[in-house]
Amino acid sequence: MLTIGYIGNGKSTNRYHLPFVLTRDHMKVKTIYSRHPEKSEWERIPGIEYTDQLERMMSDPDIRLIVVCTHTDTHYDYAKMALDHGKHVLVEKPFMMTHEEAVSIFNYAREKNLLVQCYQNRRYDSDFLTAQKVLQSGKLGELLEVEMHFDYFRPEIPESTTHFSYLSSYLYGHGCHTIDQVVSWFGKPERVHCDVRQLLGQGRMNDYFDLDLYYGALKVSIKSSFFRLKERPSFVLYGKKGVFVKQTKDRQEEHLKLFYLPEGHDDFGVDLPEHYGTLTYVDEEGVYHEEKVVSERGDYGRVYEDLYNAIFYGSPKMIRDEETLWNMEMLEAAIQGCK
């Protein structure tokens, strides 16, 4: 049994973590810490202890994993505190404020013979896993270009924001998803070109980014904006023999926002046929094919399964330290032009 304690009782803990852990019989959530537990907007879950006594939770011998779901500027201190108490640590993204902090906390965890990892749940998005399946099929031939988009039409957010903070920037908050997906496929890029903007001018929020990552002849573009009335496709893969287009995103977040949760719903996060991507290619005989690709099933809880296997059986971490460090390095470099 993996017994878990959480730091933070907000949206991250209640929407993106608990619904997936509570469905797993070999995991138990014992305690949730927040400074003001009585003020939470989220309904308390029976059987979980809610506390404002952080030291008490940290010292609990039953708890083996601490999950940090707080503002980024507190991640390092909370992670270090948990390691000092002999706990493994899972940290929400963006992982740390800087690349230097990330290096430091990984080194400290190794000294303590403990695990610390970033919560890169988007590796288990349905659209990403489906694109990965197509890529591995070989039907596209040699891969030449990948386009990944994470768009919104929420102009009221940047228009109402009157200051710039790199920690709450669009790049840090969303680029950390897609950069991780890219490095999990292709590793560290040979070079990166960054176009990170504040469309409303300096002193306003970062509301746009366009990153190009180069791997030899392959170019991977990550593009996102707050001003896209019509979203661009989630994934487009171009190869020498074909193309795959997945228009819609993973549906787990859509369902979570509606409180349509994994427990009791077999169709949670599952794509309908109208969400399936289209694969178009020419085979070895020169025959043209165009077909729908049934979407893979996403499951953010697989991050916890990976950690469970690493903690109890010594399995390699699926989200490797160096991948998180590459992510932080690119985020830190790309945001420099914003003020």
Amino acid at residue number 40: S
Average pLDDT, 10 consecutive residues per value, the chain (339 residues): 97 96 96 89 93 96 98 97 98 96 98 97 97 97 97 93 92 94 98 96 95 98 95 97 97 94 94 98 96 97 97 96 97 93
What are the C-alpha distances in Å from 113 to residues 7, 69, 88, 318? 22, 23, 9, 18
pLDDT at 177: 94
Residues 6+ apart with CB under 8 A from 264: none
pLDDT at 229: 95
pLDDT at 28: 97
CA 305 to chain CA centroid, Å, is 15
pLDDT at 274: 97
pLDDT at 161: 92
| CA pair distance 317, 31, nearest whole angstrom | 25
Is residue 212 within 8 A of residue 193, CB to CB? The reply is: yes
pTM confidence score: 0.94
What structural domains and CATH numbers belong to the chain? 2-119 (3.40.50.720), 126-298 (3.30.360.10)
Q: The tokens of 76 are what?
A: 């390092």
pLDDT at 41: 86
